[in-house]
């Protein structure tokens, strides 16, 4: 059974770094590469960071019901293709989705058993420091991201887990612990539990 892990965070919270470290140490996870209509930035690589398509193509795929979830953020579309979940299921892997609050809400409605994790920066000042250290955004964009972060953070109660990213290594260990804990929940143990239960059933009497 494939468990879907939703990870959301304000831009600059260190989400991508944590997800990358989690994937590197857990071969049982598959990362869902989102589709987007925005242009690549920084060191992003097509097919790895995002699948970049035109707005027209995105809307065509949307009309064909190809997305599990989608959202429009800062004038650009983002979405998760349904095929990635089918691929994870066929491989027997769990799926990691790096999506925003809008997309997480949609996905939870469609897959209620999905596990949602919200990553928080320790403070506004640290978030601003991280945004500036990336050297990717103009001042106007940084200020907008900070304003939007306040609104996103207010949605933390919608998530199953909340993780404050003080230190990357500690936060990575916490994420690993969440994944492990979810894997041993009863719903994931049925195939192991049934044989144990059967072993307690009365055995047929011996024939003489």
Span 136-171, pLDDT tens digits: 778 888 888 898 888 888 888 999 999 999 999 999
- Which of 120, 121, 168 minimizes the C-alpha distance to 21? 168
Three-class DSSP category at 50: strand
Q: With the C-alpha atoms ordered 107, 184, 15, 33, is the resulting torsion angle positive or negative?
A: negative
Residue pair 22/176 in contact by the 8 Å Cβ criterion = yes
- pLDDT given at position 50: 92
Domain boundaries, the chain: 4-185
| 128 has a pLDDT exceeding 70 | yes
- pLDDT given at position 207: 62
- pLDDT given at position 183: 87
| 201 has a pLDDT exceeding 90 | no
Per-residue DSSP letter, 157:
G
Residue pair 156/118 in contact by the 8 Å Cβ criterion = yes
Q: CA-CA distance, 143 to 91, in Å (whole number)? A: 42
Give residue-wise pLDDT tens across range 20-67.
999 999 999 999 999 999 988 777 788 888 999 999 999 999 999 999
Higher pLDDT, 75 or 137: 75
What value does the mean pLDDT take over residues 89-117? 93
Q: CA-CA distance, 105 to 114, in Å (whole number)? A: 11
| 208 has a pLDDT exceeding 60 | no
pLDDT grade for 81, boundaries at 50, 70 and 90: very high
- Which segments of 101-201 are extended strands (E)? 115-120, 161-164
Q: CA-CA distance, 86 to 90, in Å (whole number)? A: 6
- pLDDT given at position 25: 94
- Tell me the percentage of the chain whose pLDDT exceeds 70: 95
- Tell me the percentage of the chain whose pLDDT exceeds 90: 56
CATH architecture of the domain formed by 4-185: 3-Layer(aba) Sandwich (3.40)
pTM for this one? 0.83
- pLDDT given at position 131: 87
Q: CA-CA distance, 109 to 208, in Å (whole number)? A: 60
Q: What is the mean pLDDT of the chain?
A: 89
Contacts of 161 (CB under 8 A, 6+ apart): 115, 116, 117, 118, 178
- pLDDT given at position 188: 61
């Amino acid at each position: 059974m494939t468990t879907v892990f939703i990870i959301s965070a304000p831009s600059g919270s260190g989400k991508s770094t944590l997800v990358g470290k989690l994937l590197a140490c857990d071969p049982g996870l598959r990362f869902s590469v989102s589709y987007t209509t925005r242009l690549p930035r920084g060191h992003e690589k097509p097919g790895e960071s995002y699948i970049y398509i035109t707005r027209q193509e995105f809307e065509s795929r949307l009309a064909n019901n190809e997305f599990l979830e989608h959202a429009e953020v800062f004038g650009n579309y983002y979405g998760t293709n349904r095929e990635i979940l089918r691929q994870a299921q066929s491989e027997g892997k769990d799926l990691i989705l790096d999506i925003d609050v809008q997309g997480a809400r949609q996905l939870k409605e469609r897959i209620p058993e999905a596990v949602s994790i919200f990553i928080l920066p320790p403070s506004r000042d640290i978030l601003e420091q991280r945004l500036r250290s990336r050297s990717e955004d103009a001042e106007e964009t940084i200020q907008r991201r900070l304003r939007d972060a306040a609104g996103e953070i207010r949605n933390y109660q919608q998530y199953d887990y909340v993780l404050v990213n003080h230190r990357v290594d500690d936060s990575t260990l916490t994420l690993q612990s969440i994944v492990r804990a979810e894997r041993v929940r009863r719903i994931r143990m049925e195939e192991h539990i049934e044989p144990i239960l059967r072993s307690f059933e009365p055995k047929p009497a011996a024939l003489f």
